Amino acid sequence: MIFSNGVLKIKKNNKNNIFHKGFEIGILLKGVDAILQIIGGILLIFLNPNRLNKLVVLLTQHELSEDPRDIIANFFIKSSLRFNLSTQHFGVFYLISHGIIKLILVVLLWRKKTFAYPLTILSLTLFIIYQIYGYMLNHSVGLIVLTIFDIIMIILTSIEYQNIKNKLYK
């Protein structure tokens, strides 16, 4: 603590400042991700199963003509065959709703609304539970990366919330 001009000021220590910067970078990344999810959900409205299959065939036909056993091209072909209207509708709903929720939370956090911190922690926890469930079904490396990032964000949000409550930041 420092006295300056008769006013008590709390000095930020480097450890808290590093967590604060990490938190700011994290919510910036979450904001960009939220916008991309909303855009992706909107684009997915126009990508019906027939269009996706045609697109995948167009993108993989050259590779498969050279090597019919190409692992990556065949993976995309098989994956596109599992894409149906139900998957499309769920994807649109999930991406847009998830993106909107994250974007609202990012705006509230950026404005340092104290109620947003516990709400964000709760939301990220629910997203993590769903991502773990999704991983058990699909074994997606992307879901593991996203889950790790969300765990880090929960930790940083908790630290930031404690610092806000302790008035370390103005």
CA distance 156 to 15: 12
Let me know if residue 49 belongs to a domain: yes
Let me know if residue 1 belongs to a domain: no
Let me know if residue 51 belongs to a domain: yes
pLDDT, tens only, 156-168: 999 999 988 887 5
Three-point CA angle 61, 54, 98, nearest 5°: 120
Let me know if residue 3 belongs to a domain: no
Let me know if residue 12 belongs to a domain: no
Would you say residue 12 has pLDDT above 80?
A: no
pLDDT band, residue 81 (cuts 50/70/90): confident
Let me know if residue 7 belongs to a domain: no
Q: Which domain holds residue 71?
A: 19-165
DSSP string for 35-99: HHHHHHHHHHHT--HHHHHHHHHHHHHHHHHH-TT-HHHHHHHHHHHT--HHHHHHHHHHHHHHH
pLDDT, tens only, 28-64: 999 999 999 999 999 999 998 999 999 999 999 999 9
Tokens of 89: 């509708």
pLDDT for the residue numbered 7 = 47
pLDDT, tens only, 122-155: 999 999 999 899 889 878 788 899 899 999 999 9
Let me know if residue 2 belongs to a domain: no
Let me know if residue 154 belongs to a domain: yes
Domain tally, the chain: 1
Q: What is the mean pLDDT of residues 79-94?
A: 88
List, in sequence order, every residue forming a beta bridge with 4; answer none if it has no partner. Answer: 7
